[in-house]
A and B are shown apart, each in its own frame.
Chain A
């Protein structure tokens, strides 16, 4: 039997990698569910809207595609994550992490990033379906990586917050679906066609900035001003939501 003790502290990167691997292991059981759920509805909506509009403009097509990409992230990051976090709180699953010498921020970041990764197949499916059905040329650039990452972390933050605040998974699922509906409408319908109160509502959803940035990136017109305004807003939302989740998950009675 060994009697030497562990150092009692893992390096930050090593700990994050272990935690992320633990979260990603969930895909072993549920990968089909993640792919189907995150791609079926956004792809279906993109196809439905194409069928109902004759000769959509390139701008409208890109709005629909960008909106559905963000919807794909929303499904895993908000609807599914909210239920998962509510279940984790209810069953005291966080106790395992909170009794190990690992930073809570690393635990939360690993959960948020894992659910963003679960959304990636859906994003790829929506982009492919969008390009095929709308016949538009999509500019795929490295800029998509931070935008999808930022949108994913911000939306996962909302999902995790809903999960923390809900008394059970059922309520978390219900509220998650409501927020998802809001993202769907406010993300796909151009702001110019929305009534003023809904425009104001869209301003407080990080998905709005994600959709706008995506729209510009996919057309190859992401200017420095766009990055500065929408990129910074996305960053601020991501940071605030992350901190809120980190604080809430650390609550003690």
Chain B
């Protein structure tokens, strides 16, 4: 049975702001599901309805087959939710924040204490367990939020931008933690615009743009749909003459580094041009890259959710 089913979901603010516009998909129990999309795509609105903090204008959300209502007790028991900032915990010490959340999820005092210690060790905050949450950095707030979402081992996790503001070491630690939960059977719903990181852990992904789903499937499926395209990454020599005209339409991805997406049939023609003596002398590095999830994301995020993208 699906953990969550979203059926023809509409959320309209005011008269005509369609934050969610006819969403229709399911998230299976035990899968890691990514919801990707740019700011304003409607991801957080969707998630707030899933956890009962907001109600749909029309359509429905079902948890394990039963309709989710506002402040639904079943959702609160089943879901560990990571919101944007743990403001409610700012006056508590780090360990207290995790223990208190665990106790509110029904753990006994000693079980909550034990689990808090394990989680803080796993997430790398054990040495800061006695500091006030409000005195921590933005990234550490995030880690405390993740620990509170995980304490009590809820069977479903909904994590809104879990790795925002984290340094690379902490990011890796968090993804490793989530992968261990995945192996233990936890359903994980990740809301993020960090596509490269999400690709490591998600089983399926929905790409949202302007309140709609532009594409949904496994990263492999979605990349397959883009297989008609190929991407060239070109690094130019510092002292080389300008080749801007040839690179018209390319995306600059670094200093004198460009990315150019082409239809596959045009690849031969492009390589022939690049191999010419005048141009090749200006090229420092050239790579032919298969589409990544980021390419899928970029390709879909401007499609305004046309249904033919599914």
Measuring CB to CB, which residues of chain A are less than 8 angstroms from any residue of chain B?
A: 1-10, 14-15, 18-19, 21-22, 25-26, 28-29, 88, 91-102, 104, 250, 252-253
Contact = CB atoms under 8 A, between A and B. Distances in A.
Contact of A3 (B77, B85, B184): B184
A10 B77 contact: no
A114 to B, nearest CB: 11
List of 10 A-B pairs having minimum Cβ-Cβ separation, nearest first: A6-B152, A8-B77, A7-B106, A96-B88, A25-B91, A6-B105, A6-B106, A99-B81, A101-B76, A101-B77
Contacts of A29: 91, 132, 134
B184 A10 contact: no
A228 to B, nearest CB: 38
B89 A96 contact: yes
Given A22-B88, A97-B88, A6 B76 contact: no
B139 interface: no
Nearest to B183: A1
B71 A104 contact: yes
Contacts of A7: 105-107
A27 B55 CA distance: 35
A28 B101 CA distance: 19
Contact of A101 (B106, B115, B134): B106
Contacts of A253: 13, 54-55
B52 A18 contact: no
Given A99-B76, A99-B79, A101-B73, A8 B51 contact: no
A104 B52 CA distance: 13
B37 interface: no
Given A18-B103, A101-B104, 19 more contacts: A1-B122, A5-B154, A6-B102, A6-B105, A6-B106, A6-B152, A10-B103, A18-B100, A25-B91, A28-B132, A29-B134, A95-B53, A96-B86, A97-B88, A99-B83, A104-B71, A250-B71, A252-B71, A253-B55
Contacts of B85: 91
Contacts of B153: 2-6
Interface in B68-115: 70-71, 73, 75-79, 81, 83-89, 91-92, 96, 100-107, 111, 115
27 contacts: A1-B180, A2-B153, A5-B152, A5-B154, A6-B102, A6-B111, A6-B151, A6-B154, A8-B77, A9-B77, A10-B104, A21-B100, A22-B92, A22-B100, A88-B87, A93-B87, A93-B88, A94-B88, A98-B71, A99-B51, A99-B52, A99-B81, A100-B105, A101-B76, A102-B104, A104-B71, A252-B55
A19 B101 CA distance: 10
B54 A25 contact: no
A14 B100 CA distance: 10
Contacts of B184: 1, 3
A238 B239 CA distance: 79
A252 B57 CA distance: 12
Contacts of B76: 98-102
B82 to A, nearest CB: 10
Residue of A19, A94, A98, A250 most packed against chain B (CB within 10 A):
A98
A26 B91 CA distance: 5
Contacts of B66: none
Contacts of A18: 100, 103-104
B124 interface: no
A14 B73 CA distance: 18
Contacts of A28: 91, 132
Nearest to B135: A29
Contact of B53 (A8, A21, A98, A101): A98
B118 interface: yes
A209 B283 CA distance: 86
Nearest to A26: B91
Contacts of B185: 3
Nearest to A250: B71
A6 B150 CA distance: 11
Contact of B83 (A1, A4, A26, A96): A96
Contact of B106 (A8, A88, A92, A250): A8
A101 to B, nearest CB: 4
Nearest to A25: B91
